[in-house]
Chain A
């Protein structure tokens, strides 16, 4: 599994490391045998995926696809028909540990010392070896219940969490003349199909028998004929195909980047324009694309400014359009120019842009009109729009009112205004999605900006939202550093254009709800104008028909996209999970982190459609119901106390963490924009980072040793234990690091050893620790190196840049740090132990 553990920053380059070219070989084309699919037949934009399948002939050869420990009957079936003894054996081996009864009221140290790994589905060893990596594709229940009634009895949500475009260090890429797919359900061939004989394969999603095409019989890797099950498509659960022209609706688009910048007085005050221009100048050669890449710029305050960057001009020319009610493009072309040809002009513009607006006194912001203009500019080609906004848009179409009431921030009851105020941004996002334009929003403001309405522009156009509250170049240097690093990642990360994703499941399962930033164009087709490696998605499933004679079910996520070099590619991930029919087996396969992630998404939906208190009650009930079901149906011996299976022992802790999360908490003063942003992030972030947001990791760092350290790139990275989030664990003599996803806190105890203060922070005493320290000084001591290596390692694992804050007892940020101490009691929330008692009381009712 090591191929996936590389650092996120180690991008897979456009030239993949393992590229397999398969020659076309003997190809007889069957006349008129192009099968158009039933999917995507909507009238406006549809992907007509057709395939020409050649006739397969020849004798059968009984070759089993997967080697099983037991002998297989000839012409043998694949994993779909495991012998019962094998199934029982594999389930039994994992039952003891996952179902070990834990009394939550008595055992206090439940958190494992290392980050929690994903549970392994109990499949035979050879199936599990090639199964999809859990960081890419994960299910809430690793053993799928056989019937919907069994799932209802378990009282846990069934869903999948995916991270399909994750940066992978090893990705097999296949260029083939035919991409083998099932004739009826259009599933791509994957490691979990069964080969009936050498010439026919049975789809694992719809069970139809298909023919193996002639050229698929030849295996170029081993240069042998007649072993289709050894081909890379059938050996790898994650694979990328280079798509032929049938998969393109139009010639692949070039990379087009448009930057829409707020230049009102407020914006210039914050000083973000300098940072942006510097960052873009630095990274202009690292922007993903090829020779056709285009860029453009639009700035706006109460009027919209376009920039004519035509090759041949001596300097960029600014064109101002003040008719914001009926926006039009001043010139038909040369507003979006080829980056390679006009690079000097672009660089000139970036150098002069901050000074152009230095003295501006405009306070109004016509964001809606700017977005419309930008959409007009991008709609012929599609591409990415990056919008930078620093205040509430108050002019023209899409103007928003300030809806937040500061007195309601600490309300113990319901929070209002979590849903959009207007459908303008949603409509515009749908228009953008139709033209393959994605809008990314950077919000850098200190005041209320109605992110609930503005966020729609990114949510339905597959963009991402970045929020830097109280951004200011002088008053808030930590945010500036975060903005810089995030921009660098944003400009240089991998990107896919005009993408669609389809998630298919075995017959009997169906998907009914989707979570994430995209537009659901038809029943299971997700339209993603841009796909980026930092986006996660979640879906909820239901069991429509009983999975009676199936031993395993499979899920396939196929992402069809245009790479930044203009190549059409398909990334396919396939996950296989066993089917069980007893409640205890369902419980033994529960993945507590995935369940928490999915519940968070569901709670966000419930808060917006119903109310926040509804969502909070639903989360508590999720814990109560599942533990009640366990107690009543699975537990044979009734003991007193709050009993949970070992796999769900952290579930109440995570539910409490969600209830205290910024998105869902009541009673503590939370700004509305920050709350809405936390909700957006819970739906958008892949599970690993969402879990850090929900339950931060706490480490003691003043006594780092090399014991158990990792050795990566010749650096020794210490691995301290993960501690529980309680002030009990904070000692006055220590220094503790809390990793909360987007932010890290380094808390220094009052009596911290002076060694740590001098060697790592470079200050003589506790009182001398500066207030706004946000960087660890680079001292030449062993402790400093270890601490910096550890912090750097934590940072490298994330695609965004977490800011670091060093805090003491007197710091302003101490409240933020203490709010993350989930297990403690606060004025408005229960402590962990009290929460457990509350659950126990509800369960025994």
Chain B
């Protein structure tokens, strides 16, 4: 049972890692001018909700299986994702808005956010891996 939870979280975490990398690649494409703002933002906006769902799934799993430390580790990021999604002003075309992305250094801040998430997910990946192996051994 424990192992199953961790295997699931591991898979989820992998998906989140791939998603972070995709965000970083798309944003750096925009920076280097390989795609235009509209294409970039529509690509990224498509994956905002799946990312949120993935993160919340991981958090819920940890809550249900009562691993409090890892739950508390996941909670801030899930809360941030939800906050970011809810706080989009009505006139904007999603979290990534093509008219605003080149203003006020938003491109840089999105890039930084994606990098931080990547580092965080990698950390979580190793934690889940370790816990999964522990759980498998103890079974």
Contact = CB atoms under 8 A, between A and B. Distances in A.
A is bound by B:
yes
Interface of A: 38-45, 419-423, 426-427, 430, 434, 452-453, 456, 460, 512-514, 519-523, 605, 609
A514 B103 contact: yes
A419 B91 contact: yes
15 contacts: A41-B33, A41-B34, A44-B36, A45-B36, A419-B89, A421-B90, A422-B90, A422-B91, A426-B91, A453-B91, A456-B91, A512-B103, A514-B102, A519-B98, A520-B37
B98 A430 contact: yes
Interface in B6-57: 30-31, 33-39
B65 interface: no
A521 B90 contact: no
Given A38-B33, A41-B34, A43-B35, A520 B91 contact: no
Nearest to A434: B38
B96 to A, nearest CB: 12
A522 B90 contact: no
Contacts of A460: 99
Contacts of A452: 91
Interface residues of B, number: 20
A44 B99 contact: no
Interface in B74-105: 89-93, 98-99, 102-105
A419 B90 contact: yes
Nearest to B107: A523
Contacts of B91: 419-423, 426, 452-453, 456
Contacts of B38: 44, 430, 434
Nearest to A514: B103
B126 to A, nearest CB: 36
A513 B109 CA distance: 14
B33 A520 contact: no
A541 to B, nearest CB: 12
Contacts of A523: 31, 33, 102
Nearest to B98: A430
B99 A420 contact: no
Contacts of B36: 42-45, 521-522
B3 to A, nearest CB: 46
B39 A43 contact: yes
B33 A42 contact: yes
Nearest to B89: A419
A39 B93 CA distance: 26
A436 to B, nearest CB: 14
A172 B36 CA distance: 34
A39 B33 contact: yes
A509 to B, nearest CB: 15
A522 B40 CA distance: 11
Nearest to A602: B104
Among all A-B residue pairs, the 4 with the closest Cβ atoms = A420-B91, A42-B36, A520-B102, A423-B93
A452 B90 CA distance: 12
Contacts of A456: 91
A522 B33 contact: yes
Contacts of A430: 38, 98-99
Contacts of A422: 90-91
A456 B39 CA distance: 20
A452 B39 CA distance: 25
Contacts of A605: 103-104
